[in-house]
């Protein structure tokens, strides 16, 4: 359809308009549900417009990494189900799903939002492993922000199972996961030399460049990842940082 073409999207944006009439710095409606998966230690379902993400947390006990013998382990995975988009295919993880998982993982890890020292059971021998599984159920753009939001909300609602006599009792809990900060990734998209947040699929098809900036509750940058083939000027990067801090604070207030 002409309305959804790349040229039409770019022409609209050049005229300071968006296809759904939002402002360039305006997110679609955000809907959050928590702990709907009873078999998970924590979970969250997030909708941003028509984008629908489910994140679940499973905890296990394993051996720590040699360079961090007294710290728990964080593992983030993302799955793009074919039912979520005609562009998703069954089979091994795609480059896009791997990138999404890595960007979200980096934001959580570099923010130090989880006190991993408190997840040590026996130094050098046993620690808790946090598995964050992110599932894309419906893809209408801005997957990294939606996935990152679902992940941190799921972590905030995670209960640690009881571990006794070398056995995990998933029906009982020993306390909440020690989450001490709320990192929020915000992706800034450059289209037709304009900066936007929360793009839908049609807008992403016209993408020049994007940059995901994750900030913590103090407004400090935890992680940054660029995507797309285009570039960002120094001025655009400064604007992107300011916008990520502003929108990150707005979304944190939603979480609270």
Binned at pLDDT 50, 70 and 90, residue 5 comes out as confident
Binned at pLDDT 50, 70 and 90, residue 1 comes out as very low
52-70, pLDDT tens digit by residue? 999 999 999 999 999 999 9
Compute the half-sphere exposure of residue 146: CA atoms within 13 Å on the CB side of its CA: 31
Backbone angles phi, psi at 176, to 5 degrees: -85, 155
- Evaluate whether the domain defined by 2-255 bears CATH number 3.30.70.920: no
126-145, pLDDT tens digit by residue? 999 999 999 999 999 999 99
Which one has a higher pLDDT value, 228 or 212? Answer: 212
Looking at residue 237, what is its pLDDT?
97
Looking at residue 208, what is its pLDDT?
95
Extents of the domains making up the chain: 2-255
On whether the CB atoms of residues 211 and 95 are closer than 8 A, the answer is: no
In sequence order, what are the beta bridge partners of 48? 30, 51
Rounded Cα–Cα distance for residues 249 and 256 (Å): 11
How many C-beta atoms lie closer than 10 Å to residue 195's C-beta? 19
State pTM to two decimals.
Answer: 0.94
Compute the half-sphere exposure of residue 232: CA atoms within 13 Å on the CB side of its CA: 23
Looking at residue 48, what is its pLDDT?
98
198-217, pLDDT tens digit by residue? 999 999 999 999 999 999 99
On whether the CB atoms of residues 27 and 211 are closer than 8 A, the answer is: no
Looking at residue 252, what is its pLDDT?
96
Looking at residue 197, what is its pLDDT?
98
Q: How far is CA 78 from CA 96, 143, 150, in A?
A: 9, 10, 12
Place of tokens 């306390």: 175
Compute the half-sphere exposure of residue 160: CA atoms within 13 Å on the CB side of its CA: 21
With a cut of 70, say whether residue 3 has pLDDT above it.
no
29-46, pLDDT tens digit by residue? 999 999 999 999 999 999
């Amino acid at each position: 359809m002409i309305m959804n073409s790349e040229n039409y999207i770019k022409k609209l944006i050049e005229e300071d308009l968006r296809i759904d009439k939002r402002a360039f710095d305006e997110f679609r409606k955000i809907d959050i549900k928590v702990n709907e998966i009873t078999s998970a230690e924590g979970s969250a379902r997030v909708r941003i417009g028509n984008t629908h993400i489910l994140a679940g947390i499973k905890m296990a006990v394993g051996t720590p990494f040699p360079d961090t013998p007294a710290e728990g382990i964080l593992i983030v995975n993302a799955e793009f189900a074919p039912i979520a988009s005609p562009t998703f295919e069954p089979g091994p993880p795609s480059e896009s799903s791997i990138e999404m998982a890595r960007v979200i993982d980096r934001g959580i890890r570099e923010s130090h939002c989880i006190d991993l020292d408190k997840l040590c059971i026996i130094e050098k021998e046993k620690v808790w492993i946090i598995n964050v599984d992110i599932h894309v159920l419906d893809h209408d753009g801005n997957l990294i922000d939606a996935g990152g939001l679902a992940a941190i909300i799921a972590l905030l609602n995670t209960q640690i199972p009881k571990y006794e006599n070398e056995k995990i009792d998933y029906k009982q809990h020993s306390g909440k996961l020690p989450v001490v900060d709320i990192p929020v990734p915000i992706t800034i998209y450059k289209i037709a030399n304009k900066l936007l947040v929360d793009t839908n699929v049609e807008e992403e098809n016209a993408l020049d460049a994007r940059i995901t900036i994750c900030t913590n509750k103090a407004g400090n940058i935890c992680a940054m990842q660029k995507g797309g083939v285009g570039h960002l000027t120094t001025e655009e990067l400064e604007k992107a940082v300011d916008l990520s801090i502003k929108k990150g604070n707005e979304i944190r207030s939603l979480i609270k």
